[in-house]
Amino acid sequence: MGVPIAAWPMHSDQPMKGFLVTEVLKIGLIVREWEKREELVNASTIETVVRKLMASEEGNVIRKRAEEFGEAVRQSTEKGASTMTQTQSGEDPTEVQNSGLSSYMYSCGNLTNHEVPIVMVPFPAQGHLNQLLQLSCLISSYGLPVYYVGSATHNRQARIRANALNPSDIAKVYFHDLPTPEFDSPSPDFNALSKFPSHLQPSWDASMLLRKTIASFLRHISSKARRVIVVHDPLMSYNVQDVSSLPNVESYVFNCISVFTLFHWLSLSGGISMQHEEELLKKVPSLGRNYGR
């Protein structure tokens, strides 16, 4: 937060996020233009961008803007935390007492009826896993029991790659490993023109077979708690649909795509005029090229 970004978009919504960072927010530089995505990026190219960010007049401006942006986000987060603290001090009995536990690794057996556990159901791709893990750490910091539900492989991946999170915060989250059907694991094709990670498709297909397993877990945890909150990735909606059959369980969608990207996608597909300068609009990545060549 507050650090300049060297953006290197490759596929999906990344080009639009790169555009947001470099052209709209102006808190970073692009490593490789999206139109040149088929060209090789070597170490010297990355070094040039990093040096420009850290030791140039343009970099000084970007770093200052990034710091200001980071401070604004911190203030917004603190304001939200203050609001939540006030809510917890009122009549909502969702605050969890630690009871002297040396660890915050909750299991269903630790739950008491007055507690409200939050169950996170991420889609098994890094950009989705990491965002819900960050949200999990934020929520658990208020003393609420948080369950991060996924396969053992993807839960481990989320923990290992969470470099920006405090390990003590991650330790407060209970990772519940779900048994996952076997699936193929082909090697990535580094010569493919499209950089979309299609070699991960088998694991994504396998994740769509977790409905019964997740439903079983929700039934069990809902029998222990007064109320259960499920926060899931939009791509996992099929797997959590049985929430509707559990009277004390409610679900919410967490959209991992930035609001900026979502707005532009809807604008482009719906023919809605976007309020940007004409020259800036020319740089907006097209919808059709983000997932393919």
**Which residues does the annotation mark as catalytic?**
128, 233
Q: Scan for tokens 């803007």, then name that residue.
A: 65
10 touches 127 (CB < 8 A):
no
CA distance 10 to 126: 14
The burial of 282, by beta-carbon neighbours within 10 Å (0-12 exposed, 13-18 middle, 19 or more buried), is given as: exposed
C-alpha separations of 163 from 26, 216, 254 in Å: 24, 32, 22
Q: Are strands 118-121 and 249-253 parallel, antiparallel or unpaired?
A: unpaired
Beta strands in the chain (DSSP E): 5-7, 28-30, 118-121, 146-151, 174-178, 228-232, 249-253
